[in-house]
Chains A and B, each alone.
Chain A
Amino acid sequence: MANILWLSAITCNGNSHSFLNLPSLEEFLGRHNFLYHTILPSTFSLRDIFELKVYESIDILVLEGTLDSDLKKFDINFEDILVEYAKRAKYILTVGTCATFGGIFMQKHSNRYGFLYKNYTAHNRFLSFKEKSVSVSGCPILPEILAGVIDMLSSNLPLSLDEYNRPKSFYGWMVHNGCTRNEYFEYKIDNHNFGELEGCMFYEHGCQATYTRGSCNKILWNEVNSKTRVGEPCHGCTEPDFPKDNLWQTTKHMGIPAKLPLGVPKRAYLSLAGVAKAFKIERFYKNILEEGDS
Chain B
Amino acid sequence: MSSNKEKRKLEIIKGSLKLFAQNGFYVTTIPIIAKDLGMSVGNMYNYFKSKEELAQEALRFISKYLAKDIRAVNESNLTTEEKIRKIVAEYFKVAQNDPQMIEFFLRVYLSNREVFKSGCEGMICVNEFVTEIMIFFEEGGSQGRSKKPRLL
Task: Give chain A's interface residues, CB within 8 Å of chain B.
Answer: 253-256, 258, 266-267, 270-271, 274-275, 277-279
Docked Cα-Cα span, A33 to B128, in Å, equals 61
Q: Are A274 and B130 in contact (CB under 8 A)?
A: yes
Q: Does B88 contact A (CB under 8 A)?
A: no
11 more A-B residue pairs beyond the given contacts A266-B138, A270-B134, A274-B127, with a C-beta to C-beta distance below 8 A: A253-B138, A254-B134, A254-B140, A256-B138, A256-B141, A267-B135, A271-B131, A274-B130, A275-B124, A278-B122, A278-B124
Q: Does B148 contact A (CB under 8 A)?
A: yes
Across-interface contacts of B122 in A (CB, < 8 A): 274-275, 277-279
In the assembled complex, 18 residue pairs joining A and B whose CB atoms fall closer than 8 Å, in A order, are A253-B137, A253-B139, A253-B142, A254-B134, A254-B140, A254-B141, A254-B146, A254-B148, A255-B148, A267-B135, A270-B130, A270-B131, A270-B135, A274-B122, A274-B124, A275-B127, A278-B123, A279-B121
Known: A253-B141, A255-B148, A258-B142. A267 touches B123 (CB 8 A): no
Main secondary structure of the interface of B (DSSP, over half): helix
Docked Cα-Cα span, A271 to B127, in Å, equals 6
Closest to B139 in A: A253
Task: Give chain B's interface residues, CB within 8 Å of chain A.
Answer: 121-124, 127-128, 130-131, 134-135, 137-142, 146, 148
Q: Are B138 and A254 in contact (CB under 8 A)?
A: yes
Across-interface contacts of B123 in A (CB, < 8 A): 274, 277-278
Docked Cα-Cα span, A278 to B130, in Å, equals 12
Docked Cα-Cα span, A278 to B120, in Å, equals 9
Across-interface contacts of B138 in A (CB, < 8 A): 253-254, 256, 266
Closest to A258 in B: B142
Q: Are A274 and B142 in contact (CB under 8 A)?
A: no
Q: Nearest chain B CB to A252's CB is how many angstroms away?
A: 8
Across-interface contacts of A277 in B (CB, < 8 A): 122-123
Closest to B129 in A: A274
Known: A254-B138, A267-B135, A271-B128. A278 touches B148 (CB 8 A): no
Docked Cα-Cα span, A271 to B126, in Å, equals 10
Closest to A266 in B: B135
Docked Cα-Cα span, A275 to B126, in Å, equals 10
5 smallest A-B Cβ distances: which pairs?
A: A278-B122, A253-B141, A254-B141, A278-B121, A254-B137
Q: Nearest chain A CB to B16's CB is how many angstroms away?
A: 24
Across-interface contacts of B148 in A (CB, < 8 A): 254-255
Q: Nearest chain B CB to A149's CB is how many angstroms away?
A: 38
| Most chain B beta-carbon neighbours within 10 Å: one of A253, A258, A275, A277 | A253
Closest to A271 in B: B131
Docked Cα-Cα span, A274 to B142, in Å, equals 20
| Most chain B beta-carbon neighbours within 10 Å: one of A258, A274, A278 | A274
Docked Cα-Cα span, A240 to B142, in Å, equals 22
Closest to B132 in A: A267
Docked Cα-Cα span, A278 to B127, in Å, equals 10
Across-interface contacts of B128 in A (CB, < 8 A): 271
Across-interface contacts of B146 in A (CB, < 8 A): 254
Docked Cα-Cα span, A256 to B130, in Å, equals 13
Across-interface contacts of A254 in B (CB, < 8 A): 134, 137-138, 140-141, 146, 148
| Most chain A beta-carbon neighbours within 10 Å: one of B123, B131, B139 | B131
Docked Cα-Cα span, A48 to B65, in Å, equals 75
Across-interface contacts of A275 in B (CB, < 8 A): 122, 124, 127
Docked Cα-Cα span, A266 to B141, in Å, equals 14
Q: Nearest chain A CB to B144's CB is how many angstroms away?
A: 9
Across-interface contacts of A258 in B (CB, < 8 A): 142
Docked Cα-Cα span, A275 to B128, in Å, equals 10
Docked Cα-Cα span, A277 to B128, in Å, equals 14
Across-interface contacts of A267 in B (CB, < 8 A): 131, 135
Across-interface contacts of A266 in B (CB, < 8 A): 135, 138
Docked Cα-Cα span, A266 to B137, in Å, equals 12
Q: Nearest chain B CB to A278's CB is how many angstroms away?
A: 3
Docked Cα-Cα span, A43 to B127, in Å, equals 66
Across-interface contacts of B121 in A (CB, < 8 A): 278-279
Q: Nearest chain B CB to A279's CB is how many angstroms away?
A: 6
